[in-house]
């Protein structure tokens, strides 16, 4: 499998794509996703785990809101992984993650995930390379476990933005009253570590790729949502789900 180099991947949509037409296609996909999610929930045979990674300002919250908002909230669970608590730190690094994986019939969304334990921890040297390699193996085994023993289908998305777009979005949090609640001065300090983050992300992609990553050009929200919605549609349709019918006593 070819190694992923982020500098060789565009952060914008192909120039030939029409924004209006693409948004119309996305709307059609979202309509179909409502029915596919209902089949998933009713059948209770499969689970879907959607992992969304990206640097600050890449648009993780927005894509969750816009792609999943039309689904039945009974069948969707969103988890945002923050700094580990004291209790979580007293366990292995996957303990807090395993507790939140989706049950059969459910869609689980990880807004950041277990991958933070080989990303930010390495950027700030809280985790050495030897430990990181062990964690990568554990992550691969963990994801394989979910697939093999709970029929969990996993989609992994990295929201790929340019440093210029990131700076613009972080600056909006200072100026736009609707976004001020997201402002964190540390985000600008983290942005200065861009090159190190890219290196750690590439290492992550190239060592935890048994389940492949989708690198999503994310400078334009309409294209990002189209790509992610389309991948979810593809996976759910591939399950050929049917309603289970009347249950027998």
CB count in 10 Å sphere of residue 130: 8
**Position 243 confidence tier, pLDDT thresholds 50, 70, 90:** very high
**Which pLDDT band, with edges at 50, 70 and 90, does 1 fall under?**
low
pLDDT digits (tens, 9 = 90+) for 142-191: 999 999 999 999 999 999 999 999 999 999 999 999 999 999 989 999 99
Question: Residue 96's closest CA among 120, 74, 112?
Answer: 112
Q: 209 in helix, strand or coil? A: coil
Residue 164 lies in a domain: yes
The verdict on residue 158 lying in a domain is yes
- Asked if residue 218 has pLDDT above 70, the reply is yes
Helix/strand/coil for 52 = strand
Residue 52's pLDDT band (boundaries 50, 70, 90)? very high
Q: Does 247 reside within a domain?
A: no
Residue 101 belongs to what domain range? Answer: 20-238
In a domain? residue 152: yes
**Is there a domain that residue 244 lies in?**
no
Tens-place pLDDT, residues 96-137: 999 999 999 999 999 999 999 999 999 999 999 999 999 999
Q: What is the CATH number of the domain that holds 74?
A: 3.40.50.300
Give the pLDDT score at 192. 95
pTM over 0.85: yes
- Is the residue at 6 inside a domain? no
| CA-based nearest residue to 141, from 111, 100, 98 | 98
Tally of domains in the chain = 1
Asked if the structure places residue 151 within a domain, the reply is yes
Structural contact between residues 146 and 152, judged by C-beta atoms closer than 8 angstroms: yes
Is 15 a domain residue? no
| Mean pLDDT (the chain, rounded) | 96
């Amino acid at each position: 499998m070819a190694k992923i180099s982020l500098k060789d991947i565009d952060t914008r949509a192909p120039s030939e794509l029409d924004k209006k037409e693409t948004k119309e296609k996305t709307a059609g996909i979202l309509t179909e996703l409502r029915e596919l999610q209902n089949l998933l929930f009713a059948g209770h045979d499969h689970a879907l785990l959607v992992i969304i990674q990206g640097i600050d300002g890449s648009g993780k919250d927005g894509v969750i809101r816009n792609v999943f908002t039309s689904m039945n909230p009974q069948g969707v669970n969103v988890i945002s992984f923050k700094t580990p608590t004291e209790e979580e730190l007293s366990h292995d690094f996957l303990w807090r993650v395993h507790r939140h994986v989706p049950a059969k019939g459910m869609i689980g969304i990880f807004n950041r995930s277990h991958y933070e334990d080989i990303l930010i921890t390495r950027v700030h040297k809280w985790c050495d390379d030897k430990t990181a390699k062990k964690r990568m193996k554990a992550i691969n085994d963990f994801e394989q476990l979910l697939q093999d023993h709970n029929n969990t289908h996993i989609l992994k998305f990295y929201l790929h933005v340019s440093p210029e777009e990131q700076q613009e979005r972080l600056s909006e949090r200072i100026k736009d009253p609707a976004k001020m609640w997201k402002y964190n001065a540390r985000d600008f300090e983290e942005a200065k570590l861009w090159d190190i983050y890219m290196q750690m992300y590439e290492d992550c992609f190239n060592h935890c790729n048994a389940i492949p990553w989708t690198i999503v050009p994310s400078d334009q929200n309409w294209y990002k949502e189209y790509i992610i919605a389309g991948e979810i549609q593809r996976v759910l349709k591939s399950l050929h789900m049917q309603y289970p019918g009347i249950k027998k006593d």
